[in-house]
Amino acid sequence: MEMTKTKLFFYTVAVLLGITFNACSKDENEVDPELLVSIDQLDITKEGTEKTFILSSNVEWSIEGGQEWCTVSPTSGTSGDTPVKISVSANNSTDQRIATLLIKAADLSEEISIMQAANHQLTLSKNEIELDDQAQEFSVAYEASGSVEVEIIGDWISQKSNSSDAPIFEIENNYTLFARDGSITFTLGDLSETVSITQIGKAATIPSDMTGVESNASTLASKMVAGWNIGNTMEVPKNNGGETGWGNPMVRKTLIDAVKAAGFNAVRIPCAWDSYIVDQTTYRISDTWFTRVKEVVDYCYNNDMYVILNIHWDGGWLEDNPTYDKQEEINKKQEALWQQIAVYFRDYNEKLLFAGTNEVHSDYNTPSTENLKVQQSFNQTFVDAVRATGGKNANRNLIVQTYNTNIAHGVNYHNMPNDVVDNRLMLEVHYYDPWDFCGQTDSGYKSQWGEGYTDVSSWGQEDYLNDQFGSVKTNFVDHGIPVILGEYGALIRSSLTGEALEKHIASHSYYLKTVTKVAKENGMVPFIWDNGYTGNNGFGLFDRNNGSIVHEDAVNAIISGAIE
């Protein structure tokens, strides 16, 4: 059939379009290559294993880089999702093995790192060590296929040498009654071996030893010139912040050195213990707290100073409860604590003294028979507990307290506890009279004291002081019982100004010198109270941060009164 010109035109267009359509179909068949691998790293144990990963691609792919110990199957494939198996044999060498697999798909590539742990060897010569209570050294030999790391559990264990096959370790003296456990762990790669360390505690009692504790109470008291209190520091209960909880910094050797340089040769350490109990069944005291108390004691003891260590207020568990209903419970704890304290410090010579309690009282009124009997039972429990530990404690000089450490109550009611040795007990009293000059902070306080001053209390002046301390001498010192004036002092009223401040400072110094002097004249050993606060209404004499004397006039007055 003959085509018309119109038909020929459309046919030509159609042919041309068909060519165009065919060209488009060919381009669509050419795809962009894709390559996805489900992992990029494998960590294999020394025993070896098989792992499978998924390789996804829309083009042909291949894998290169397998090693004799690390094989891959399959090593090539076409488009789709393909499971690929990696087989890793056991590693019998002591080196880590690493292989890298390179996966290619068209112009794309991915890497997989295969890391196999070394076949480490680690053998210890021992896994358990039992030690006595003394400081000592020991070694732990081991065989290892590489460098080991050492981890120590127990702050009383330290590594002395770093020998490659037998390191030496040091053990501190266990001063406590209780055994303690620690460990040393050796680690090499994925291997670890542990040595369990057990160190026994001190014996509860040992034979008596007079070495270094030859002085009886009177002789020892005569060697103490003037004493100073580390107040508001070691006696702060743990739950009130511990040593720094009442605003003072930690006690440093610098402070104790400064106190000695000022003329004091004795330090009283009021101390908390109950709040540092870690086991209420055994009343075990924290090893960490014992270590810290020892550190402070040693600042003084190693400085050739006398040291009094006591059980202080500590929340009032003992101090506020001289009653029959509490007596048995408190004496049980009193015995347990003093047994531990005494054993811990048993090797110290006579420069260390123990004081059983502090200001035990029910209230500030005249004590009842019940109050007196219970309070004095605390003293007896203390003496018995310390003596039973033996060693130097069998003859150590001990300090017991009057009811509320009050002089009048001591003169009127106090009975000394029984002791298995003669002339090894001292008595403690405190003195803050008159209170409106010494400690009162609200309105009505008196800024001056003594003859020649005007803003003074109506009582508690020189005649009262002489009567009080004279009665101590008559009733105790003259009977061979030295007396520790464990606390005394007067607030510094630095908020005063002008002439009032001048008179206060002069009167304050006069008071301190007079009390110290009269105490010494009556056979008492004075320990000034210092609470660390040197501002207005503070008892502080030294800057606790650097040891410098803040109130030099007061310090000079005390030392002058002690040596005149």
Residue-wise pLDDT for 73-107, tens only, equals 999 999 999 999 999 999 988 888 999 999 999 99
* Residues forming beta bridges with residue 366, ordered by sequence position: none
CA distance linking residue 58 with residue 544, whole number of Å: 79
Known catalytic residue: 521? Answer: no
CA distance linking residue 198 with residue 129, whole number of Å: 6
pLDDT of residue 220: 98
CA distance linking residue 446 with residue 434, whole number of Å: 9
Q: In the block, which residue shows the tokens 């464990």?
A: 486
Phi then psi dihedrals of residue 31, to 5 deg = -100, 160
Catalytic residue among 328, 359, 370, 521: 359
Residue-wise pLDDT for 481-527, tens only, equals 999 999 999 999 999 999 999 999 999 999 999 999 999 999 999 99
Q: Residue 452 region, left (φ>0) first, then alpha (ψ -120 to 50), else beta?
A: left
Confidence band for 12, pLDDT divided at 50, 70 and 90 = very low
pTM (2 d.p.): 0.83
Q: Is the dihedral of CA 452, 455, 458, 462 positive or negative?
A: negative
End-to-end CA distance of the chain: 153
pLDDT of residue 29: 65
Domains along the chain with CATH numbers: 35-116 (2.60.40.10), 122-199 (2.60.40.10), 227-548 (3.20.20.80)
Catalytic residue among 487, 502, 521, 552: 487
**Residue 203 neighbours by CB under 8 Å, 6+ apart:** none
User: Which one-letter amino acid corresponds to residue 503?
Assistant: K
- 15, two tokens: 């042919």
Residue 542 has pLDDT above 50, yes or no: yes
Other residues' Cβ atoms within 10 Å of the Cβ of residue 487: 24
Known catalytic residue: 359? Answer: yes
Residue-wise pLDDT for 377-418, tens only, equals 999 999 999 999 999 999 999 999 999 999 999 999 999 999
